[in-house]
């Protein structure tokens, strides 16, 4: 049996990974089901109901305004008018115009596929990335902690080949899982759009943009899985990778954010990992600093802006993958296997 086939079978037969993938898929199903149940198809009946509700709001406001004007005049006549409640002239109490009561306020939520699906792809990549990180850490961490890595090297005493083949099996598995999940996710939300919203504007260019977003999501999932695998291999235990992830979230996100905020550093978000995740999936993200204004021609305050692009995110993620995997290979080559 080839080494890759052995690692592939080992990956598929690990119950923890199977349950982990099942839990991730269940979360995706629940999200899709929630979106289906909370959105509605908008037709003439829904528009008519919304117009009627807006008209009711307008009539109720007219009645309330008239009551307030009568109360104001009565208070003025008795000399007990409260200046904090009533204006100096009771005639100033006027109801807003009918145009101020929009029917859109009463329209049911409806799913617009072209507008709302791209951000949902970020959620898909984040969930699958988390699953890949934990699975990758467990896949190699369990081998180290149980002594299985030592037994494996007795059969195939080629350290780097064993480690990289194990990593390759993991990445191939999650590449397939991510592609299947992306296809199923797209089909599910297309169904939601047709049944509980609309799918207008889906041109060939729009589909191409979605396909590129899904490819970026695939790259993100594989990068996160590789980092989890490499960190667990470095620490020779699954808990090392999980502890490192918790440390990054607590120290790297909240701690760094708090320190930078106290130091009044502009564009704090550019130093936080979620910014680069969003920039990678959405191609770019614009940060705004309202503490520093660019005066416009009409005298208003325009915040200074900083763009984080997918190229910035690609450099960050690329360095993280190369550095972590490289260190794992170096440690595998130099350290004793006991």
In this prediction, residue 208 carries a pLDDT of 93
What is the Cβ-side half-sphere exposure of residue 290, based on CA atoms within 13 angstroms? 1
In this prediction, residue 212 carries a pLDDT of 93
Using one digit for the tens of pLDDT, what is the confidence trace for 279-317? 999 989 988 876 666 555 555 667 778 889 999 999 999
In this prediction, residue 156 carries a pLDDT of 65
% helix / strand / coil in the chain, to the nearest 5?
75, 5, 15
In this prediction, residue 312 carries a pLDDT of 93
pTM over the 0.85 mark? no
In this prediction, residue 185 carries a pLDDT of 92
Q: Using only C-alpha atoms, what is the Rg of the chain?
A: 29
In this prediction, residue 30 carries a pLDDT of 95
Residues in the chain, pLDDT under 70: 1, 145-156, 247-252, 290-301, 335-338
In this prediction, residue 124 carries a pLDDT of 94
In this prediction, residue 220 carries a pLDDT of 95
CA angle 139, 131, 149 (to 5 degrees): 5
DSSP 88: S
């Amino acid at each position: 049996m080839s080494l890759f086939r052995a690692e592939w079978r080992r990956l598929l037969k690990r119950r923890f990974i199977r349950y982990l993938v099942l839990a991730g898929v269940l979360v995706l199903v629940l999200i899709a089901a929630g979106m289906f149940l909370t959105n509605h198809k908008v037709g003439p009946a829904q528009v008519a109901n919304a117009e009627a509700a807006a008209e009711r709001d307008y009539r109720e406001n007219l009645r309330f305004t008239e009551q307030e004007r009568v109360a104001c005049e009565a208070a003025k006549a008795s000399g007990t008018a409260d200046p904090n409640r009533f204006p100096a002239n009771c005639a100033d109490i006027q109801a807003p115009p009918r145009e101020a009561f929009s029917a859109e306020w009463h329209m049911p939520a409806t799913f617009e596929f072209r507008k709302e699906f791209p951000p949902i792809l970020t959620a898909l990549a984040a969930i699958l990335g988390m699953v890949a990180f934990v699975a990758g850490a467990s896949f190699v961490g369990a081998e180290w902690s149980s002594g299985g890595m030592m037994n494996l090297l007795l059969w195939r005493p080629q350290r780097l080949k064993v480690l990289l083949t194990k990593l390759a099996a993991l990445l191939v598995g999650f590449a397939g899982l991510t592609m299947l999940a992306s296809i199923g996710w797209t089909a599910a939300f297309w169904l939601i759009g047709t049944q509980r919203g609309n799918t207008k504007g889906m041109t060939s260019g729009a589909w191409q943009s979605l396909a590129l977003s899904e490819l970026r999501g695939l790259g993100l999932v594989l990068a996160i899985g590789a980092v989890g695998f490499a960190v667990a291999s470095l620490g020779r235990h699954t808990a090392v990778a999980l502890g490192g992830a918790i440390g990054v979230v607590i120290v790297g996100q909240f701690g760094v954010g708090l320190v930078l905020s106290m130091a009044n550093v502009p564009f704090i978000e550019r130093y936080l990992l979620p910014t680069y995740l969003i920039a990678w999936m959405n191609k770019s993200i614009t940060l705004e600093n309202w503490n520093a204004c660019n005066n416009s021609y009409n005298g208003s305050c325009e915040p200074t802006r900083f763009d984080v692009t997918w190229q910035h995110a690609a450099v960050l993620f690329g360095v993280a993958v190369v550095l972590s995997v490289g260190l794992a290979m170096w440690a595998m080559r130099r350290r004793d296997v006991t």
